[in-house]
Amino acid sequence: MNLQLENKIVIVTGGAKGIGESITRTFAREGAVVCIFGRNPEEANRLVKACAAEGQRVESYHVEMTDEARVRTAVAEVLEKHRRIDIVVNNAGGNDAISLRNTPAAFRDSLEKNIVQCFSLIHYTLDALIASRGNIVNIGSKCSVTGQGGTSGYAASKGAMNALTREWALDLGRQGIRVNCVIPAEVITPLYERWLAQAPDPKAAREQLDQTVPFERRTTTAQEIADTVVFVASPCSSHTTGQLLFVDGGYVHLDRACTQPTSHLKSS
């Protein structure tokens, strides 16, 4: 299927590693020009070179997303070079485990890192998105609807992201802008791999994690998240807006009983 993304200008925050890297590579394979906004230029430049070797167009913009002034100037740099912005993917952020035991100041800092920066980016790209009748894809988290424990800042931010997805879809629909949110549950990223490696038995921990996912008893791949992001951002998904799209193997919505060994289940 031709997703009609050739030469589209795409900003992907945190687009150099993990889920973000998969999103960047997938847009680039579809012929888009991907502008990575991220705090680690070394990681981004490696990805830029790797994609260039395959004839793909990826650019790196060194941006700390909580630095509002730098976000504004980076957006201006993209517009100066390309004269348009078609798609924004709010992917940057992280589960910083800010809980009720942390200070209110730490909670506010978590919100800055995980949701306020998303507002800033859309604020500064808004006129360009209106001009291109572009669209926005937010990357959410299961904890926005399930809770997780010990992560008030991240959960509050991702809950706000769900709400803003629908608020922005309504607000911007009159300008032809679509807004959607792709919500992962358990995805093995480099960060998750490091966390699993700290378990007494990493292999057993991974197997236990896989068993919590109803469909195929495996974690979702970063590529599966990226494929959904790129499709929903494309004209092939032209009447989809305001949606919370769960790409999680049924983790959030299917009964927990289905993750138990089948010998423990009774037929009805």
Burial degree of 119 (CB within 10 A; 0-12, 13-18, 19+) = middle
The torsion angles phi and psi of 232, rounded to 5 degrees, stand at: -70, -25
Distance CA 170, CA 234 (A): 19
Task: Identify the helix (H) or strand (E) that includes residue 129.
Answer: helix 117-132
3-state helix, strand and coil shares in percent for the chain, rounded to the nearest 5: 50, 15, 35
Catalytic residue among 61, 154, 192, 251: 154
> Which residue matches tokens 């991907």?
34
Q: Is residue 124 annotated as part of the catalytic site, yes or no?
A: no
Q: Residues with Cβ < 8 Å from 212, sequence gap 6 or more?
A: 186, 251, 259
Distance set, CA 112 to CA 122, 211, 216 (Å): 14, 34, 36
Residue 23 structure tokens: 């999103």
**Residues annotated as part of the active site:** 154
